[in-house]
Amino acid sequence: CIDSSEGFSEWQRITLRYIHEHFGNDVKVGAGNVVDAEGFRFLAEAGADFIKVGIGGGSICITRETKGIGRGQATALIDVCAERDRYYEETGVYIPVCSDGGIVHDYHMTLALAMGADFLMLGRYFSRFDESPTDKVKVNGTYYKEYWGEGSNRARNWQRYDLGGARKLSFEEGVDSYVPYAGPLKDNVNITLAKIRSTMCNCGALTLPELREKAKITLVSATSIVEGGSHDVILKDKFGRN
């Protein structure tokens, strides 16, 4: 996958052409990231085998506040997936879309799939588990895992941005952070999948295409979000345990 904060670029077209010319079409190459129909069409015509959507929505990404580019993940995903479907109708070529960013809670995965994503990129989600390659640390009695962005100084120090000569990463587009430790991957993934299946069942959908067709995406207010969680009660955990 050619992975960049901005995939609507001549450099990605050149790279896709080079890979396909030298290694043939058996080597599948994804490209991105883009946030609108025009960006999708550009990478599709450049030869991308799948296209990644999202600029600035990742938990450790600061591209929007650093450079002022990006788009809300839901808006970007809906726009790109509509163009994917138009492109398929025109050409008969279906190019899968990966939603990259904006996943905080498990239900956000189901929302992304309902909006049209074929699969998801989950950085923060997987970084919390035993199997992630980062260190587990204890801060004020609580365990965390290290997690950093590819546009951070730590990534730069690993020479990921060595362009030759004196040119280096001039500013950061990601942060170096911690995420709450969540234990083994298998247990957590099973819980997440159970939630996704349950939501699909509520929508009367047995497959992802059915979910896209039957799910009703609704714009909600801040009040509605508060209403959707526990409210107007005092949780027992607040009193502690004797």
> What residues are labeled active site?
61, 160
Residue ranges of alpha helices (H) inside the chain are: 10-23, 37-46, 63-67, 73-91, 106-114, 123-127, 153-157, 185-202, 208-214, 222-228
Cα–Cα distance for residue pair 12/16, rounded to 1 Å: 6
What is the Cα–Cα distance from 77 to 97, expressed in whole angstroms? 9
Element (H, E) at 103: none
3 state DSSP class of 234: coil
103's CB contacts (< 8 A; 6+ apart) are 109, 112, 120, 122, 124, 125
Residue type, 105: H
* Helix, coil or strand: residue 143: strand
Contact 152, 146 (CB under 8 A): no
Token pair 């502690």 is at which residue? 240
Single out the residue of 105, 103, 38, 94 nearest to residue 73, CA to CA: 103
